[in-house]
Chain A
Amino acid sequence: MESLYLLIPIALLFCVIAIKLLLWAISSGQYEDLDKEAWRILADEEPAKPDPDTRDKPAIPNSDD
């Protein structure tokens, strides 16, 4: 049980490092937008490559092509 005298300070050290990191991340603006990032991590679908011919043309079915 004497190991506690070593392990607990180490745990505290890690806690201090974690807090430091988190505060740094907040200050550098990484937590500015919680809503979007929470969604983005689950939906990172890239847009389909648009067909160069149909680009900027309306996709209304009655067009001639």
Chain B
Amino acid sequence: MTGAWMAKYKLPTSTMPPPAEARTLEASTTCFHCGEYVAPDLDLSVVIDGEPRAMCCPGCCAVASLIAGSGLESFYRQRTNYNERPPSPDPSDIEQYRVYDDPVLAATFSVTQSDGTVDASLLLGGVSCAACTWLIEHSLASLPGVSRALVNLQQTRLDIRFDPAQQQMSQIFAHIDKLGYRPRPYHTNTARQQAQEQYRSDLRRLAVAGLGMMQVGMFAIALHAGEIQGIELQYQALLRWVSLPVAAFVVFYSARPFFSSAWRHLRRGALVMDLPVSLAIGLAFAASAWATMSGTGQVYFDSVVMFTFLLLLARFLERRSQQRQLFTWADAQSSLPSAATVRRNDQWVTVARMQLQPQDTILVKAGESVPVDAKVLEGSSAVKEDTFNGEHLPRGVAPGDTIYAGTVNVDAALQALVLVDYKDSRLAALQRSVEMAQVSKPRLTILADRIASWFIAGILLVTTATALAWWQIAPEQAFWIALSVLVISCPCALALATPAALTNAASALRARGVIVRTENALESLSGCTHLLFDKTGTLTEGDLTISQVRPLGDMDRATVLATAAALQRYSTHPVARAFSTIAQASGFEQVSYHVGAGLEGLFDTKRYRMGSRQFCQDLVPDFPEAPDATLYWIGLCQEGAPLAWIGLNDSERQESRGVVDAARGMGLQIELLTGDSSMQGPLLARNLGIETVNRNQSPQQKMAYVQQLQRDGAVVAMVGDGLNDAPVLGVADASFAVSGATDLARSQADFVIVDGNLEKIVETLRKARQCRRVVRQNLAWALGYNLCAIPLAALGFVPPWAAAIGMSLSSLLVVGNSMRLNQRTPWKASTC
């Protein structure tokens, strides 16, 4: 009985974070904060608990410093999952939250109390374990003016009360952002309210069934003991009479969803698992009630109540994971900035994005996200569209070009004319594709439901035949024997077989850093034939890094890099991030940025340039051609002399090759599906040994491609991260979002990998297959048990008490077998 419950609530004794002793070895390879690999030449660290801990990026470094600096270090000892990798710290990120200081906008998610304090609800992205709630609560509580901060982990919702005289709404958003979580306003809607109500009523039914089970079980022990030792009739009658009302309450209150669901499906002519469940509960209860009143026969109150409780428990746990999905739901709009700068009466004012209208003139500064589809009026810049198409290098734009909502303006401020409302934008079209994908996602019929239909038919047939046969032989026994056939064929074990296995597998995966958002996807995943990968950010790190330096003069590699880094410091271009960890040469002056071309600066009275070949040729006419087309090449020169070509590349993740090989070894067909139109896709594929590559795919094309595969009979699993992957993640039979994925991709994926290690995909695949084996064992056992027991019962050989015990034991066996999926490292390995 306690199996599934314990499985879910056994304390996470997972491998993360590793114990302090073991960590000294691993510290050199993984980031202490987010668990991602640390590049070998990177030297970033933060002192936590008296020891320097390796960090993988400035973002992690900033967050960890803040946590350590405010005395909340014990967060790292308490957490059971790695954190998400935060973006690099950027002061302008904070600016975007200013819009929430606007009383009209703030009123949509906050209430001002009579004493002047404000109650607000925020939805948090990136909360991965209970220790995160501790961190956020304690960190916020230390801010002046905050009187209450409570995080609901299940809904990842923060309820905060603060004094607006001492604290601004935007500062609270900014503080959460600095801790590495993504805050956004929490809006109550009907779906969320219904889910809340549903959750409470499920819990009530479960609680009543649990307490009822204990009570009836107590009486049942006395009754069973009485059967063996002998019991006076009056006491037997008493115990039966007191069991009756308790069991009745459980059957009519707790088990009602089974009856209503069975009836609803039956009216439509569908035979589902709920039908035999309802029949078993209803008939066993009715027979027991009759036996109690007539003082004959046998009672099964304990079995009825226990069965109800176990099924409700399995259903409760399953539904909880679905509800979590509903509460953390994100749509494409949530990736847009909430504020925009717009020209009103010849002045630039900040307004909420919702208030933008076509024909408004907006200002998009460098580094900001474009809030809405617009046409550039003034300025030239480049927009980074990697979440849409997976391309690293931004697209250059000039007056007359269109920029799209959700892309990032990289180089310089742009003035643009708003073209359409949000609902007509390219991003909204993406959102509609996502919704379409949800509807057209193939639902593999659950094995248990398929078995259920013919199982029911068989049982009813056998029972009727038994009743008729015994009617001929011994009419007075016909009813009881027919009933014992029904009871013994009670599909407890059959009904529990799938949910018990899925729940345990999901629980085990969660402890290993994979959040299972839809448990049924485990069943689809176990049978998948194709595994499709996105390129940028999935198989690769997602950022450009320096892969080659080819000196052209006599300057050595280190000096070339130091010079380049000194120039790139002045740029916000994605290329510049590749140089951010390199020590810079000092002494550069008058560095200027030429949009779409490169950087220029003065050093020791000599002019230096870095950028495209053409840009360098203006300074050094004989600047040679780029070595080849496999990398992104950037030229560096000084007045009169070419210095070097620097080749950048999006390096593949360390574990990519191993994952691809392992998945192929498991018999899966591996393909690459990327929006990038460059040669990078095919190159990476050749490197990893992937044969099928589809590049230059729009989100809709990706989705259509997977649907075509599905029509040809494939079961497709997809791994992705970007906005453009959201529709295809939605339509695939099973889908993974890797860490750093956009919220939209996350909300479409069946599995979210928390620490960004792709090996978890293989682990999930293995677990899914193991889960399938366990489900089949469970079903085989349940059916086998019934096949043996029913003939015996039909012949009248099984006394009713043996039927009841056999039924309970077979359920327990199924639960126990399923718990094998949840074996973990022993408790002492834990760090808590």
Hey, which bits of chain A sit against chain B, CB under 8 A?
1, 4-5, 8-9, 11-12, 15, 18-19, 22-23, 26-27, 31-36, 38-40, 42-43, 45-51, 54-61
Contact = CB atoms under 8 A, between A and B. Distances in A.
Given A33-B153, A33-B154, A47-B138, A61 B69 contact: no
7 closest residue pairs by CB, A with B: A39-B130, A50-B71, A58-B65, A36-B153, A48-B71, A59-B68, A22-B207
Interface stretch (B44-52, B404-412, B459-467, B478-486): B44-52
A3 to B, nearest CB: 11
A26 B154 CA distance: 15
Interface of B: 9, 11, 45-48, 52, 61-62, 65-66, 68-74, 78, 80, 129-131, 133-134, 138, 142, 151-155, 199-200, 203-204, 207-208, 211-212, 214-215, 218-219, 232, 235, 238-239, 242, 246, 320, 832
Contacts of A58: 46, 62, 65-66, 69
Contact of B200 (A5, A26, A56, A60): A26
Mostly, the B contact residues are helix
B215 A60 contact: no
A39 to B, nearest CB: 3
A55 B151 CA distance: 24
A19 B69 contact: no
Given A39-B130, A59-B69, A1 B215 contact: no
Contacts of B235: 1, 4
Given A43-B130, A50-B69, A50-B71, 10 more contacts: A9-B242, A12-B215, A23-B204, A35-B130, A39-B80, A47-B71, A47-B74, A50-B142, A56-B70, A58-B62
Nearest to A56: B69
B131 A39 contact: yes
A18 B11 CA distance: 27
B234 to A, nearest CB: 9
Given A35-B130, A43-B832, A49-B71, A15 B65 contact: no
Contact of B203 (A31, A38, A50, A51): A31
Nearest to A39: B130
Contact of A59 (B65, B138, B151, B204): B65
Contacts of A43: 78, 130-131, 134, 832
A57 B66 CA distance: 7
Contacts of A42: 11, 832
A34 to B, nearest CB: 7
Given A33-B152, A35-B130, A47 B72 contact: yes
24 contacts: A8-B239, A9-B242, A11-B218, A12-B215, A12-B242, A32-B154, A32-B155, A34-B320, A35-B154, A36-B154, A40-B134, A45-B74, A46-B138, A47-B74, A48-B71, A48-B74, A58-B66, A59-B69, A60-B45, A60-B46, A60-B47, A60-B61, A61-B47, A61-B52
Given A15-B215, A18-B211, A19-B207, A57 B71 contact: no
B195 to A, nearest CB: 12
B130 A11 contact: no
Given A4-B235, A5-B238, A33-B152, A48 B200 contact: no
A10 to B, nearest CB: 11
Contacts of B246: 12, 15
Contact of A50 (B70, B131, B232): B70
Contact of B238 (A4, A23, A33): A4
Contacts of A59: 46-48, 65, 68-69
Contact of A32 (B152, B207, B211): B152
A47 B136 CA distance: 12
Contacts of A61: 45-47, 52
Contacts of B212: 15
Contacts of A33: 152-155
B2 to A, nearest CB: 15
A4 B48 CA distance: 63
B153 A45 contact: no
A54 B9 CA distance: 39
A3 B151 CA distance: 50
B131 A8 contact: no
Given A33-B154, A45-B78, A47-B138, A54 B207 contact: no
Nearest to A18: B211
B752 to A, nearest CB: 16
Contacts of A9: 242
Contacts of B46: 58-61
Contacts of A39: 11, 80, 129-131
A28 B152 CA distance: 15
A32 B15 CA distance: 28
Contacts of B65: 58-60
Contacts of A35: 130, 153-154
A35 B48 CA distance: 27
Contacts of B138: 46-47
A39 B12 CA distance: 9
A35 B323 CA distance: 14
Contacts of A47: 70-72, 74, 138, 142
A43 B212 CA distance: 32
A3 B438 CA distance: 62
A60 B204 CA distance: 51
Given A5-B238, A19-B211, A26 B131 contact: no
Contacts of B142: 47, 50
A59 to B, nearest CB: 4
B133 A36 contact: yes
Contacts of A40: 130, 134
A54 B70 CA distance: 8
A8 B70 CA distance: 57
Nearest to A32: B152
B495 to A, nearest CB: 24
A18 B215 CA distance: 11
Contacts of A46: 138
Contacts of B11: 39, 42
Contacts of B207: 19, 22-23, 26
Contacts of A60: 45-47, 61, 65
Contacts of B239: 8
Contacts of B151: 36
Contacts of B134: 40, 43
Nearest to B215: A15
Contact of A27 (B80, B153, B200, B214): B200
B695 to A, nearest CB: 41
A15 B246 CA distance: 9
Nearest to A51: B71
A15 B209 CA distance: 12
Given A26-B207, A45-B78, A11 B215 contact: yes
Nearest to B202: A26
B204 A26 contact: yes
A5 to B, nearest CB: 7
A31 B291 CA distance: 38
A54 B61 CA distance: 16
Contact of A55 (B69, B74, B78): B69
Contacts of B71: 47-51, 55
A46 to B, nearest CB: 8
Contacts of B211: 15, 18-19, 22
Contacts of A5: 238
Nearest to B127: A36
A19 B204 CA distance: 9
B152 A36 contact: yes
A47 B135 CA distance: 9
Contacts of A34: 154, 320
Nearest to A58: B65
Contacts of A38: 9, 130
A48 B142 CA distance: 12
A60 B43 CA distance: 12
Given A12-B242, A19-B208, A39-B131, A54 B203 contact: no
A59 B69 CA distance: 6
A38 B71 CA distance: 24
